[in-house]
Structure 1
């Protein structure tokens, strides 16, 4: 595999590494998620049924309004939040929500990030250098935008995907 490194125009947060959930779909903390169970719950979402907890979401665009900010903060307070979010395009409200929730974020690439990154890849996002790096390729997406089910922790089990947080100073 050729090393994939993408550079974003917008970035914030800490360097994080985790398994990527990738879909050519939007993201609304209010309407797409079951925030108590930690899964995508909107039936028409391409990641429905998959756990976002401790993962890096790679999605097309941010959706939603002011509720996103407090919802991301509340999810983080309950340890039910994604580790990072990567978008092709983002709105200021979701960027504020990610900042309030302490969720690392990258947005704005020269390529469609949902096509450049395979679902299930292990990726590192480094806001200090504004880069997304693929450390281990996942598996190609099907026509719905997400292929196969990633290993899901059972209720009460610890998350098994590799996660590493490294503080970044600005």
Structure 2
């Protein structure tokens, strides 16, 4: 196993860890996710059909309407929210979304998480310290 740490800016504090679910595509909330099951339903998205529930969601950010935050808030209420969010592009949709989802969230990392973190890696997000630690089983 190998591990590395990336440093960035924490947005919503807290510590969480879990398996990474990584996508290079922004996520649409309204019509793009199903909060009841915590999964991506946007037909043209590379993660369509996959669940983000309890995982560390690593993605560029939010796209679409202001409904993005509402869909992720509903996933929190239904117990299907991601354990944490790591993203690269800040906008008002994602800012509100991470606040109402109430999971540790980090952005502005010192390396691109979309190219350094892989789906299946174990990721510990410490948003209080502004760092993520990635453990890769395959070295």
| TM above 0.5 | yes
- Equivalent positions of 1:17-166 (< 5 A) are 17-134=17-134, 136-137=135-136
Give how far 1:109 is off: 1.8
Give how far 1:62 is off: 2.0
The answer to whether the 8 A contact 1:14-1:127 is kept is yes
**SS of match in other structure, 2:98:** helix
- Unpaired stretches in structure 2, ≥5 consecutive residues: none
RMSD of the TM alignment (CA)? Answer: 1.8
Bigger mean CA deviation after superposition, 53-62 or 90-99: 90-99
Count, aligned residues: 138
Give how far 1:46 is off: 1.4
Give how far 1:77 is off: 0.8
**SS of match in other structure, 2:3:** coil
Bigger mean CA deviation after superposition, 15-24 or 93-102: 93-102
- Unpaired stretches in structure 1, ≥5 consecutive residues: 140-170
The answer to whether the 8 A contact 1:118-1:138 is kept is no
Bigger RCO of structures 1 and 2 (CA < 8 A, at least 6 apart):
2
**SS of match in other structure, 1:5:** strand
What TM-score, normalized by structure 2, do the two folds share? 0.88
CA distance in 2, matches of 1:138, 1:40: 26
The answer to whether the 8 A contact 1:60-1:113 is kept is no
CA distance in 2, matches of 1:8, 1:16: 16
Q: Deviations over 1:97-155 (max 9, x none)?
A: 21122122111123221101111111000011100101x3167xxxxxxxxxxxxxxxx
What TM-score, normalized by structure 1, do the two folds share? 0.74
Larger radius of gyration: 1
**Match of residue 148 from structure 1:** none
